[in-house]
Amino acid sequence: MTTMTDAALAEFKMPDVGEGLTEAEILKWYVQPGDVVTDGQVVCEVETAKAAVELPIPFNGVVRELRFPEGTTVDVGQVIIAVDVAGGSGSTAAAPAAVSVPEPAAPEPEPESAPRGRQPVLVGYGVSEGSTKRRPRKGDVVAVPAAVTQPALAPEPEAPVKGNGRPLAKPPVRKLAKDLGVDLASLTPSGPDGIITREDVHAAVAPAPEPVVTQVQVQVQAQELVAAAPAVVQDGVRETRIPVKGVRKATAAAMVGSAFTAPHVTEFVTVDVTRTMKLVEELKADKEMQGLRVNPLLLIAKALLVAIKRNPEISASWDEAAQEIVRKHYVNLGIAAATPRGLIVPNIKDAHAKTLPELAAALGELVSTAREGKTSPGAMQGGTVTITNVGVFGVDTGTPILNPGEPAILAVGAIKLQPWVHKGKVKPRQVTTLALSFDHRLVDGELGSKVLADVAAILEQPKRLITWA
């Protein structure tokens, strides 16, 4: 999203990421005034209420000014960086201020020859004129920044073009194409509105072997969250105020909405998982699982998928507006992950159709991507059921709150060696406690109990993964 204020200065606005969001926080600038930038170069990282995203700039030039410092929340459509596009040298961008806050000013008119219409933005094909009116924030005065309604800048001559515009692709797809050496202008887009997809890029190169995916248990200490906050703690200060924004703000709203919308019921069961733990060790030595991280969470996830297959009525959602229950004949399995920016719940699409090795690979990629803070907004949408593994923190169990729109969430406690009656004798066995919270509008006590009992039965006798599946 760009505008031209004079013959040499181009302005880049906070893009519409296409997820119904109206603002984003600037986390980090990768460039400074005086730096030379090229078309497609990532200039900053921003955080929306759903994910952290890197923003590429759509033209060549020299950075004249950064309009906002790091840590500032900026509305979609506001100019965040000005670039001198004349000549591509630093001579025309002498002595700019490092960061400045723009004063309100009337925008200058654009050349009459600039084509009107949709503009290149962060995701896909851009917003049309005045489209930011569709998502006003609650409590705000509905107004459109003047810069948003101005005509779009004509494509730079040196940029790759397709027809009369730049190739349309999301930032991760552009980065993928750059890494693989693929010219986006040479591809035929298969996505909606002519958007180039990952599949288009992969189809243009020879298939490469899948990388080994390592699953890492995400454990974030409370002090890391405080350290990440833009607050300075001084000696003698007894309280610190941390602004609520980004992922934390979205999580808070979602949890309050879920807790006071869906009537929660939580049931518990304690189960001997000794045989499951033995199977985990056997699978680690299996050649079909080489290169994959095999752990108890993998078999717990598979057990839940089998339990849902045996009790498909639990896979549903409540449509309040239509007063309908929507049955879902698929499972997008969410995994709650703690990250430095807060709790997120990415999900594995169509997890019910995956083999055990495929599920292991998907789990590993999901967790490592979340840990790196690179989870995309799309990966957190469309979930149908969630697992939260509180056991990694040494916690026995909990009463988890439903992810909004989902019928159930399974909490897995710590697996501990405990005295247990086995074959008539008290023996040390590996035991854990499971907790299943469900929406009582959708799930009766009988159905919820059956699902939880099936998960426990599979973990006690993992051979049921075969006999029941």
Encode pLDDT of 441-456 as tens digits. Answer: 999 999 999 999 999 9
With beta carbons less than 8 A apart as the criterion, state whether 134 and 77 touch: no
| Residue found under tokens 């979205």 | 250
Q: What is the pLDDT of residue 19?
A: 53
CA 190 to chain centre: 23
Q: What is the pLDDT of residue 87?
A: 53
Length of the chain: 469
Structure tokens at 15: 């893009």
Encode pLDDT of 338-375 as tens digits. Answer: 887 778 899 999 999 999 999 999 999 998 888 888 88
Q: What is the DSSP letter of 109?
A: P
From the candidates 202, 329, 422, 440, give the one annotated as an active-site residue: 440
Contacts of 249 (CB under 8 A, 6+ apart): 49
Dist CA 252 CA 465 (whole Å): 37
Give average pLDDT by consecutive 10-residue segment, the chain, 469 residues. Answer: 66 74 85 91 82 85 92 89 72 42 45 42 40 43 39 40 60 74 80 78 58 37 41 70 77 78 92 97 93 94 97 94 94 90 88 95 91 83 94 93 93 96 95 96 95 97 93
The yes-or-no answer on residue 440 being catalytic is yes
Q: What is the pLDDT of residue 144?
A: 38
Dihedrals phi, psi of 316, to nearest 5 degrees: -160, 170
